[in-house]
Structure 1
Amino acid sequence: MDPLDIPPAEVLRARQKLVLDHFHDEVRQDWDDVLATFPHPHYEIVPTMTVHDGDAAVRGYYDETRRAFPDQDHEIIALRHSSDAVIVEFWLMGTHRGPLGKVAPTGQRFRVRMTAYFLFDENERLVCERVYFDTLTMLRQLLRGYELRKPSSWPKLAKAVRGLLAMSGTPDPRLADTTPPDLRG
């Protein structure tokens, strides 16, 4: 697909409906309906350089994130179309009520601005949701419950930092090993 060719309006409307249904079903935590939007579920979480590929891996991702943030929700800011994607800017919000990896729940709320690229193949099938956000903004909000001036908070904070460091592993090569496009046109 030529990156300068924008599909007809009816294709863009169909893509947009699928993406909005996907968002709605995620909030409802209806994982079967969310996964039905893909022929093969595939998420790429760029800030953590992780890929969740296939039904079981994506369900594991949902389970982990909703255990940590059972009230996770979003507010859409903007939705845009490109030749092969729907791009959604949104606020993601939730309360840290369960473990996030090895980080114990802090009870803190977060609100982080994000962008998700919903990528479509040449047959108009959703093949990837690629998410970008600032992890430092989220972590700052989650860890603000620790009172740094109180030595009694230091052990919990140290444990949280160790947990965060344990979550940062080797970047998935599908995200790390990229090739620049040929833009000579």
Structure 2
Amino acid sequence: MSVFTFPPEDVLRAREKLVLDHFRDEVRQDWDDVLSTFPHPHYELVPSMTVHDGDEAVRRYYHDTRVAFPDQNHEIIAIRHSADAVIVEFWLIGTHLGPLGAIPPTGGRHRTRMTAYFLFDEHENLVAERVYFDQLTIFKQLVGGLDRRRPRDLLKLVRAVLGLLRTAGREPDPRLQPPPGEPLAERPR
């Protein structure tokens, strides 16, 4: 299929329903139903340059993010279609009550605007969810309510910053980088 050729309306509607079911089941934390939307679960988190590939890795991702944000929810802003994807803009919302990787819980809430690309193959299988967001926006909200004059909150802030720095020092997943030696594509003029 060409990037300039859209599938028929019934295909677009079926894709959108699958994506909305996926979102609903994530909020319900019904992981079996969420995973059933993929033949092979695959998440790409572009800001952190991490990939969660396969049932076990994606379940671990779900577990870790729901330990960090047990009340995680979303508000859909807009849904758009492309030749091979459903693109969803949404607010992700949650309270930081557990560790987020190396970042200890702060008790802070965040409401972060995100975009997720749900990519489909030529057989209309969902093959990836690729998510874009600003990590610093989340972090600033999580630590923003800490009172730096209180020793306990100051200690939380220091631990959170150190955790963020440890997270930032991880090697990016090579699947999200150009192959070594490949030049960047030239911009169209």
Establish whether TM, by shorter chain, passes 0.5: yes
Q: For residue 155 of structure 1, give the secondary structure of its aligned residue in structure 2.
A: helix
Percentage of identical aligned residues: 66
Q: For residue 61 of structure 2, give the secondary structure of its aligned residue in structure 1.
A: helix
The aligned runs of 1:1-185 (5 Å cut-off) are 1-148=1-148, 150=149, 152=151, 153-168=153-168, 169-177=170-178
If the length of structure 1 is used for normalisation, what is the TM-score?
0.93
Distance 2:167 2:56 in 1: 20
Gaps of 5+ in 1: none
Gaps of 5+ in 2: none
Distance 1:46 1:155 in 2: 30
Stretch moving more, 138-147 or 24-33? 138-147
**Amino acid aligned to 2:107:** G
Judging changes above 3 Å, is the alpha-carbon distance between structure 1 residues 132 and 39 closer, same or farther for their aligned structure 2 residues? Answer: same
Deviation at 1:145, TM superposition (A): 2.5
Distance 2:126 2:90 in 1: 19
Judging changes above 3 Å, is the alpha-carbon distance between structure 1 residues 156 and 125 closer, same or farther for their aligned structure 2 residues? Answer: same
Distance 1:64 1:156 in 2: 20
Distance 1:181 1:55 in 2: 33
Distance 1:77 1:137 in 2: 18
Distance 2:155 2:72 in 1: 28
If the length of structure 2 is used for normalisation, what is the TM-score?
0.91
Report if the CA contact (8 A) 2:106-2:156 is conserved: no
Q: For residue 48 of structure 1, give the secondary structure of its aligned residue in structure 2.
A: coil
**Amino acid aligned to 1:114:** M
Distance 1:154 1:81 in 2: 45
The superposition leaves residues 10-49 of structure 1 with CA deviations (integer Å, 9 ceiling, x where unpaired) of 0000000000000000000000000000000000001100
The superposition leaves residues 30-69 of structure 1 with CA deviations (integer Å, 9 ceiling, x where unpaired) of 0000000000000000110000000000000000000000
Distance 2:63 2:101 in 1: 11
